[in-house]
Amino acid sequence: MTNNMPVVILCGGMGTRIRDVSENIPKPMIPIGGRPILWHIMKIYGHYGFNRFILCLGYKGEIIKEFFLNYYAMVNDVTVDLSKPNGYAYHDTKDIENWEVTLVDTGANTMTGARIARIKRFLDNDENFMLTYGDGLADIDISKLLLFHESHDKLVTITGVHPASRFGEMVVESDGKISSFAEKPQVSEGRINGGFFVMRTAFIDRYLSEDPHLILEQYPLTQCTKDNQLMAFNHDGYWQPMDTSREYEAINSLWDKGKAPWKVW
């Protein structure tokens, strides 16, 4: 089932903590299995019928524009006849995602809150919109997320996740016997912001501005919480940001082994 609710994705990051693989590209274009992590995120939403995307571009945003402008040629075999103005032919054309993608330059150094404010004009008369980061994956059920958001009258739903531990975890009995061992398990207590928001458009008018220094995760969400306008959708499944080279390698390893939990399509 198709849902025309827009999905806003924050794509302005430089990936400074993962510079060795993102030095010349924006962070959302870091490849997972040969496709940008941004594409994987969009496929998650597309699986649940969300095909209208608004991308908040920043650092090297032209690379993201080029990817989508040349998308058809990139995913198909093509013959190019340089002697003709439009001399190209596609072979064995694959099914192409029925996505509508609006690419908006929101500023190279703009913070997250201002990026969202700067795309408001593309939201038309939409009462709600989805929002997430361009560097995080999850096996989240977007349909359940939306149902939860529609069940309350608050402005914002945020997905609460258990962060992956930086270290392996052992359960050791009193006699020294190890009863369980897990390599970097999900932390069982406490939740953090996992992205995958649903927001009422009124949130932008009330809490955001185009001030380039405005960070979504600071005053806007803090004040929204004080005003009792923020609800959490608890997700206990897979969730993984890509902030370090080690995380990049781990995510690619899962994909290469055919064990990618986020591949719900």
Domain ranges of the chain: 7-162+191-256
Q: What pLDDT is attached to residue 169?
A: 53
Q: What is the pLDDT of residues 224-234, one digit of tens each?
A: 999 999 999 99
pLDDT digits over 124-176, tens only? Answer: 888 999 999 999 999 999 999 999 999 999 999 999 998 876 545 555 556 65
Q: Mean pLDDT in the chain?
A: 90
pLDDT for res 178: 47
Rounded percentage of the chain residues whose pLDDT exceeds 70: 89
Residue 115 has pLDDT above 90, yes or no: yes
Model confidence at 199, pLDDT cuts 50, 70, 90, reads very high
Those residues with Cβ within 8 angstroms of residue 155's Cβ, 6 or more apart along the chain or in another chain: 199, 200, 202, 203, 206, 224, 229, 230
SS3 at position 6: coil
Residues 6+ apart with CB under 8 A from 29: 22, 36, 37, 38, 63, 64, 67
3-class state of residue 196 by DSSP:
coil
Concatenated DSSP letters of 93-130: PPPPP--EEEEEE--TT--HHHHHHHTGGGGTT-SEEE
- Angle between the N-to-C axes of helices 37-47 and 142-150, in degrees from 0 to 180, rounded to the nearest 10: 60
pLDDT above 50 (res 114): yes
Dump pLDDT digits (tens) for 84-95.
Answer: 988 888 887 777
- CATH number (3.90.550.10, 3.30.499.10, 3.90.50.10, 3.30.450.20) of 7-162+191-256 reads 3.90.550.10
What are 197's two structure tokens?
A: 């928001």
Are 26 and 14 a contacting pair, CB within 8 Å?
yes
Mean per-residue pLDDT for 211-223? 96
| 227 C-beta neighbours (distance < 10 Å), count | 12
